[in-house]
Amino acid sequence: MKLVGFAPTGNRLHFVRDLNEDEIAQDQRYTPIFTEARGRFHLFKILHQNYEDWLSYINLLLRQVNLTSVLLTISCDAAKLAENSRDWKRSKLTGKEGEIEIAEIVQEFHQRMLQSYGAFVAELFFPDLLPIAQFYMGLTREVKKHGDEFIMCFANDPDVKTTSDKQTLNLKLHFAPNDLIAELGIIASVKK
């Protein structure tokens, strides 16, 4: 199996080198783990996309204003929320908090979900996730030395068929994660 850089624009391939036996074994051991993690962490990607959509909407509102300075405040009254709490048993809202800045709360929630909770869940259910991410990140770095446009992937040995007037190359690509943590939609510390 070969380490390959694939550039989607123009469908270009760059053969970097042959993978060694240890790297092939690691990929075979890691593939089922990161495949399961992708499925289980899909919610984090959805949360992140919802947050990005919300930010885009807020920015759209700002673009419609033609003033030189704009202050947009999205807030709610803590007393009204506490009054209509619907028996939120775990809420620590007393109503004495005054105006609650929604943008700040949403941003803090987003960061805590992706960084703190995401890293906690990753470590709890997938303790090998960070070493796996480091393995693929190292291979990705190696491919990126040949051009930032390349995506790291693996390829089998090419099957070459020659006829009288042309040569056909049949190649099967295996797309491994280039930045596993980002692809899972979480924020965790990985040594680059």
Record the tokens describing residue 113, joined without a space: 């979900």
Question: CA 55, CA 70: separation in Å to the nearest integer?
Answer: 16
Number of domain units in the chain:
1
Residue 32 falls inside a structural domain: yes
Note down pLDDT in tens along the chain; length 192 residues: 999 999 999 889 999 999 999 999 999 999 999 999 988 888 888 888 898 898 888 777 766 555 566 666 778 888 888 777 667 777 777 888 888 888 888 888 888 888 888 888 888 888 889 899 999 999 999 999 999 999 999 999 888 888 888 888 888 999 999 999 888 888 766 554
Residue 192 falls inside a structural domain: no
Residue 189 falls inside a structural domain: no
Question: CA 63, CA 80: separation in Å to the nearest integer?
Answer: 31
Q: For residues 101 and 73, is the Cβ–Cβ distance under 8 A?
A: yes
Residue 20 falls inside a structural domain: yes
Domain that holds residue 89: 2-184
pTM assigned to the model: 0.72
DSSP run (H or E) holding 167: strand 167-170
pLDDT at residue number 72: 67
Residue 190 falls inside a structural domain: no
pLDDT at residue number 63: 64
